Amino acid sequence: MQAPGRPREFDPDETLMKIMQLFWENGYEATGLSDIVAVTGLGKASLYKAFGNKHQMYLRALSHYESLMIDTAVAVLRSKDAAPLDRIDAFLSAPIVAVRDHKDRRGCFLCNAAADRASLDSDTASLVERGYAKLRKALTRTLSEAFPEGASEKIAVRAEVVLTIYSGLRIMSRAAQTAEMMTATKTEIIVMMGLI
């Protein structure tokens, strides 16, 4: 039996995951400390001691998302298990798969943070740019494999367009767009770009 006054033990990684899910789904402003207390089951003092204030919790949650989701996307783009354009297609299909197969309309936490907080908070902006830079670099490398004779400037522009399409599809998913329309949009754009 726990001694009186002794803080309850908890798993920091599991708790951070819960905090991340909350910010990812609701955004910064719509997530209150009372929501974090409710979802984690921890008191304010324990949360502050482990994760800092709400702003610090948000930054840690966004950084955790980067290590879980962005780094995974980068690994898929860099994988040699599929042809370069197939990897690009898988990357662009991820928002559609999330909606179609998992009914997941949270979008991308990184994209959400770009719209939600980046213009208001330099710390968030730095994390957003770091995440996008990782994706941009991986996309550039993959497109360079697909178009080895392509000029580096054109490859860089294509990478930026692909990243913009991805972000747009993630936003479309939050706006309750159908998976069918998202698929049609993705296909039309990549055909226009000459990626297929």
Cα gap 2→68, rounded to integer Å: 34
Tell me, what's the pLDDT at 151? 85
Using the predicted structure, report yes or no on whether residue 176 has a pLDDT greater than 60: yes
Mean pLDDT of the chain, nearest integer: 92
Cα gap 72→66, rounded to integer Å: 9
| Helix, strand, coil % over all residues of the chain, rounded to 5 | 75, 0, 25
pLDDT of 86-113, one tens digit each?
999 999 999 999 999 999 999 999 999 9
How large a percentage of the chain has pLDDT more than 70? 95
pLDDT of 133-170, one tens digit each?
999 999 999 999 999 988 889 999 999 999 999 999 99
What global pTM score does this model have? 0.89
Tell me, what's the pLDDT at 3? 44
Using the predicted structure, report yes or no on whether residue 29 has a pLDDT greater than 60: yes
**42 backbone dihedrals φ, ψ, rounded to 5°:** -105, 155
Q: 89: Cβ–Cβ under 8 A, 6 or more apart, which residues? A: 190, 195, 196
pLDDT of 49-79, one tens digit each?
999 999 999 999 999 999 999 999 999 999 9
Tell me, what's the pLDDT at 10? 81
Query: Which comes out higher in pLDDT, residue 196 or 52?
Result: 52
